[in-house]
Amino acid sequence: MTDALMQRIKNFIMEEFLPGESPDELTETTPLISGGILDSIATLKLVMFMEEQYGVTFEPHEIDKENLDNLASILRLLQSKNPTVA
């Protein structure tokens, strides 16, 4: 897992959904969906961002709490789709 990739996705979440929050508060394991940070529209926006940035496609059934509830699992799923992203 690359730090640069993690940082870019984290920045997107911080800017879009946590404006004004200290970056230290958002860690790899902070619950995003179950923690009330990403609602359904926010989740779709995040997915669209990753699809555009990294040329991957998320299947409808992958867009759920199991896969996207924290940064670590988001990166796992993203890298399983495109191992070359960094």
Q: Does 34 bind other proteins (CB under 8 A)?
A: yes
- Using the rule CB under 8 A, give the single segment among 1-9, 23-31, 75-83 that binds other proteins: 23-31
Nearest to 57 by CA among 78, 76, 86, 73: 78
Structure tokens at 61: 């059934």
Helix-, strand-, coil-residue percentages of the chain, each rounded to 5: 60, 0, 40
Q: Does 60 bind other proteins (CB under 8 A)?
A: yes
Binding site for other proteins (CB under 8 A): 18, 20-22, 25-26, 30-31, 34-37, 39-41, 44, 48, 60-61, 63-65
